[in-house]
Chain A
């Protein structure tokens, strides 16, 4: 029994001297939430307290929104115990809320209020919000155009790359012909094709699709191929003695075994296709976020550029998150080796 005495003592001792620990626990759990609230109140005050140095229509709204967020942060973290998993999630992210509030306050003060940063190049937060509210249709059109172009090119490139990779990995004859071509053309950055692609293809849209597919296809091909080629021959031996035909060996042995490699290729392909997408839109296609960026630069609309950049990064990281979610579903048998 003596081994239990320590925990017994703690359990019985806790209620007696409860006041000080309670305060400490409250501070630990909710202190950061209060701090987050303070940071956002500071943003609200900084918006409303001083006059803007320029002409921005959303300053007042931003201030009000900051107060609302401050209130939500306060009640959300203090009352997290009553909010279940949402409360826990909020409490976990509270330090980020503090950082974000502080950063926005600093940004607001440094731009809209005292113009410490040179003005047209560093617009205040309310200017960016203004873009999202007032220029929404154009921005949305650009987002849709970019997503369509990217998705079409990526899917074509991934599918072709996957099939080519499996074929090279499986068939010696295909490897003989395709491998040198791949060695020769693959390492060329897809953007180098841009000038040729734009006048050989019937439309700038099809040219861009081709370039995105090319940028995606190369890493997917190489990694699928190396995945198929590195499958242990013991797996094939096992399957063959159990009566497997060649089609079974490809579909049920080679491809599942190569899938972890394939996803690395899909990930790399996604990264390089983003680069091609933006460049293609800036140069040839008259739509999409790349074009929007270019257009905003032409009009010296710097707030629009920042707004478009934020949307772009959300889209790119969203796409990668989606890819990893699919991978985690398909490769549950694998322990998480690549983290995102």
Chain B
């Protein structure tokens, strides 16, 4: 159960990522006075620099878990730790990229990416980091564009740059590619992997796409229906770049879909 960081590709900055410990976390929503349980005794331990995918049926509580990791909400029970320090509130070392890019429409691309540094009051001395982040996602020429002038894929790249400019220790991805067309999606999956390999941050990816999880992650954690519990913790021991047609991945995919009760459709 304890994961060893057996990553197939060498990491350039192995020290950048933080360890994440989710210990017996349970959470519930209050809906009209009634408690609706969404997470049930979830424990996950993530090594520094690991790429972990959280897979589960839609609405099972994966995104809620991400909000807890980000510090946006507090769990009803259990604890979350980043490098042994308890997570109580949001911090720029744990940045979320949401399913919607949620760029601020009144800010240019550059100003959107600069948001984190500006909020922390260090933008003036570190403007170069914004330019670097834009270069990283290949949108330097769009620095003065407004969000409504961007395509869906470009907007999501800007959102990614806005997260990466903070040099996060944990990158939290909440179905960031869910709304993109399949071609853009495949391109951005490859970009995500190469960014992760270059930067070495710990990555937590929520997805409902088994193939995406298997192509990207070193570990896939499968959740049950709501309230979510960990159903399986699957190691994907395959070098990058991975091939979608890889029989090993196809086998894992069948296994995962079986866990989700979808084996009949395979």
How many chain A residues touch B (Cβ–Cβ < 8 Å)? 23
> Is A82 close to B, CB under 8 A?
no
Please tell me which one of the listed residues A253, A259, A333 contacts residue B146 in the complex, with CB atoms under 8 A apart. Answer: A333
**In the docked arrangement, what's the CA distance between A131 and B118, Å?**
58
The number of A-B residue pairs with CB atoms under 8 Å apart is 71
Q: B interface, how many residues as a size bin?
A: 20 to 34
> Is B152 close to A, CB under 8 A?
no
B67, B106, B116 — which one has the most chain A CB atoms within 10 A of its CB?
A: B106
Restricting to B96-123, which residues have a CB under 8 Å from any CB of A?
Answer: 96, 98, 100, 102, 104-108, 115-116, 118-120
- Would you call B104 and A242 a contact (CB within 8 A)? no
> Is A60 close to B, CB under 8 A?
no
Task: State which of B86-94, B124-132, B205-213 sits at the interface with chain A.
Answer: B86-94
- Would you call A243 and B102 a contact (CB within 8 A)? no
Contacts of A248 in B (CB 8 A): 118-119
**In the docked arrangement, what's the CA distance between A234 and B106, Å?**
15
Contacts of B104 in A (CB 8 A): 235, 238, 253, 256-257
Chain B proximity mask over A232-266: 1 for CB below 8 Å, otherwise 0: 10110111111111001000110011010000000
**In the docked arrangement, what's the CA distance between A334 and B91, Å?**
31
> Is B13 close to A, CB under 8 A?
no
Contacts of A237 in B (CB 8 A): 67, 70, 72, 96, 98, 102
**In the docked arrangement, what's the CA distance between A33 and B105, Å?**
45
A333 and B107 contact, Cβ closer than 8 Å, known pairs A235-B102, A241-B92, A243-B92: yes
- Would you call B70 and A241 a contact (CB within 8 A)? yes
- Would you call B115 and A239 a contact (CB within 8 A)? yes
> Is A117 close to B, CB under 8 A?
no
Contacts of B67 in A (CB 8 A): 237
Contacts of B98 in A (CB 8 A): 234, 237-238
> Is A310 close to B, CB under 8 A?
no
Interface residues of A (CB under 8 A from B): 232, 234-235, 237-245, 248, 252-253, 256-257, 259, 331-335
